[in-house]
């Protein structure tokens, strides 16, 4: 019973958080389209830098989970490989997102000059 509640809670929270990121993406696109002045681009660069630091922190957390798995893989049983591949995929996605956001921040800093 507890397992079912935990799974339902995880699914509901992942849907909730994924919708937030989609809404933020729409705000970023709108802000980029309306950026005209130096200060607009500086603000966008700061937003991208903030997002990049958040993605870097998430990537670091995934890396720590993977290191824990490598140290104690025997604790995970049959689901261990699913755990490992899932967190490796998340690590790749967060790392790519951090790189893209860093590039976008640099681009907007350049536009601000």
Domains in the chain: boundaries:
1-34, 38-113
pLDDT in tens, 59-91: 999 999 999 999 998 888 888 889 899 999 999
pLDDT tens, residue by residue, 24-52: 556 666 666 666 677 888 888 999 999 99
Tens digits of per-residue pLDDT, 13-24?
665 555 445 555
Alpha helices in 35-79 (DSSP H): 38-71
The count of other CB atoms within 10 Å of the CB of residue 52 is 19
Question: In Å, what is the CA distance from 16 to each residue of 31, 35, 55?
Answer: 23, 29, 18
What's the pLDDT score for residue 36?
Answer: 66
Instruction: Please report, to the nearest 10 degrees, the dihedral formed by the alpha carbons of residues 36, 38, 39, 44 taken in order.
Output: 70
- For tokens 């490989």, name the residue: 81
Who wins on pLDDT, 104 or 11? 104
Specify the 3-state DSSP secondary structure of 1. coil
Q: Is the pLDDT of residue 103 over 60?
A: yes
Q: What is the pLDDT of residue 77?
A: 85
Backbone angles phi, psi at 86, to 5 degrees: -60, -50
- 87-98: per-residue pLDDT in tens? 999 999 999 999
């Amino acid at each position: 019973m507890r397992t079912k509640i935990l799974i339902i809670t995880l699914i509901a929270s992942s849907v909730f958080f994924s919708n937030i990121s989609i809404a933020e993406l729409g705000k970023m696109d709108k802000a980029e389209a309306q950026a005209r002045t130096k200060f607009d681009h500086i603000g966008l660069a700061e937003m991208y830098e903030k997002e990049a630091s958040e993605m870097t922190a998430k990537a670091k957390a995934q890396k720590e989970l993977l290191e824990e798995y490598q140290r104690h893989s025997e604790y995970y049983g049959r689901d261990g490989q699913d755990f490992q591949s899932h967190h490796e995929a998340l690590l790749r996605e967060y790392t790519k997102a951090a790189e893209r956001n860093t590039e976008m921040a640099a681009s907007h800093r350049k536009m601000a000059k």
